[in-house]
Amino acid sequence: MSDTAPTRLLILDTDQAQRSALSRALETSAYHVETISSIADISHQTIDSLVGILVASDLVESLIESLGPQLSNAAVLEYVPAGDIEKLESAESETRITVDGLIVVTASARNVRRQVETALAHFHRQQEVDQLRGQLAMTFGFDNLVGTSDAIRTIKEKAASIAPTDLPVLITGPPGVGKELLARMIHLHSAHRQQRLVHFDAAALPSEHLDQALFGSETDSASGFHRGAVEEASGGTLLIEEIGNLPINAQTQLIRVTQEQTYRRSSANSDRSARVRLIATSQRSLTDAVRAGTFLETLWHQISIVTLSLPPLAERSEDIGVLADYLIRRLCRETGRTELTLDPDAIVKLQRHQWVGNVRELESMLRRAALLTTDGMIRPIHLFSGSDALATVEPSPSPANARTNTEQRSLILKALTRNEWNYTKTARDLGIGRTTLWRKMKKLDLSPAE
């Protein structure tokens, strides 16, 4: 005998004969079935222990309106009476998600046991998917936009507040600052998180192909059509990377999507509907593009209702230490290493780099450094090539660099002391040549007497 408790099902129907027939068809060792004729007969205790509710199609909307939020852990199985042929043809395998997030699976009264088993399996799979999405949302929480600077704190607060809305979002910033990561965070904390996030890179295709790739196309043949990114994202979020690359005709269509939630495939004669949340990114100034006539002002006003501008890494040097620490911890998890740490001098060196590639460059540099270190300590020598180090350490010839010279003197003196004034080892540790080290020692008045 199995120790598994039977699955509790509830049948809701005003037709007593239908309730009895369904109950007889489902009452097995696998199911414990109860029947009621009114929504008012459903108690909170009943709901808490239910796995599924079979409800007649004419009562579904009333049930959802009355008890929707309380039914999130039970499958709502709408059934169509076996004699209703017209409804059966359109409802045999329909599945929909209501505004309350309820999964409603429509089945017929024919072969009801098989259909209930299939519907419950579908419901449990969807619950698992939702749970994984929730875990993913935690993984991509806004705290993963690492930094303590005022700029990053403001962006995280603003993104968290607008994520649950349907407002379009424009994310700007140079390459490598995390625009795509921020877009994913917003999607995973939105009302559309159960649906797809579709990426569309407007910089990856020739301009003549962008319209069809974005909106799809049709031909005269019976099945000759291509689904575009807008259609793929319907019900979810569409992320258009480098939106400024879209040609004017595609921009015009996108205005219709944001205003009217309609669009038209290429070569089509009729409009289609698409309800999408739009997130766009751009590394170029769209206001300059508007002035140049290459970007429509109407579209710019629509997508820039919420604008999040991610600053380059060089402008938030106070974030580099905590960001490097975060990236190293993530690298340890990925590789199974536990001993990776950053030498204090390495952090100083990172803070003074220009970071043309921003966070992406920092991550690549730390990955390379992790491969070079043999004892788990990442030092300046592991970070930069000679030319990079020279560019990082060398100050600009300006009176304003007195503080920079003091920092350089302290950095080099620490390295000399650590290497017992061995010039070859010190130069290697700093990632510069011996001649450069001697020249800097002379300029900064460093000698072994110290």
DSSP states along 110-179: TTHHHHHHHHHHHHHHHHHHHHHHHHHHHHT-GGGS---SHHHHHHHHHHHHHTTS---EEEE-STTS-H
Tell me the per-residue pLDDT of 193-225, one tens digit each, with 9 for 90 and over. 878 899 999 988 888 889 889 998 876 444 456
Average pLDDT for residues 420-441, to the nearest whole number?
Answer: 72
What pLDDT sits at residue 311? 93
Q: For 314, phi and psi rounded to 5 degrees?
A: -65, -20
Confidence band of 450 (pLDDT split at 50, 70, 90): low
Q: How many CB atoms lie within 10 A of CB 409?
A: 17
Confidence band of 387 (pLDDT split at 50, 70, 90): very low
How is residue 10 written in tokens? Answer: 């509830």
What pLDDT sits at residue 100? 39
For 362-396, the DSSP string reads HHHHHHHHHHH-SSSEE-GGGT--HHHHHHHHPPP
Measured distance CA(397)–CA(389) in Å, rounded: 17
Residue with tokens 């008890």: 67
Tell me the per-residue pLDDT of 253-289, one tens digit each, with 9 for 90 and over. 999 999 988 888 887 888 888 889 999 999 999 999 9
Among 25-39, 228-242, 340-354, name the one with the lowest average pLDDT: 25-39
Tell me the per-residue pLDDT of 11-27, one tens digit each, with 9 for 90 and over. 888 888 878 877 887 77
Please report the domains of the chain, with CATH numbers, ordered by start residue. Answer: 7-136 (3.40.50.2300), 140-311 (3.40.50.300), 315-443 (1.10.8.60)
What pLDDT sits at residue 309? 95
Q: How many CB atoms lie within 10 A of CB 14?
A: 12
How is residue 175 written in tokens? Answer: 């390459």
pLDDT of residue 301 exceeding 90, the answer is yes
pLDDT of residue 391 exceeding 50, the answer is no
Q: What is the largest CA-CA distance in the chain?
A: 103
pTM: 0.58
What pLDDT sits at residue 288? 94
Tell me the per-residue pLDDT of 90-128, one tens digit each, with 9 for 90 and over. 444 444 444 334 445 555 555 677 777 777 777 777 666
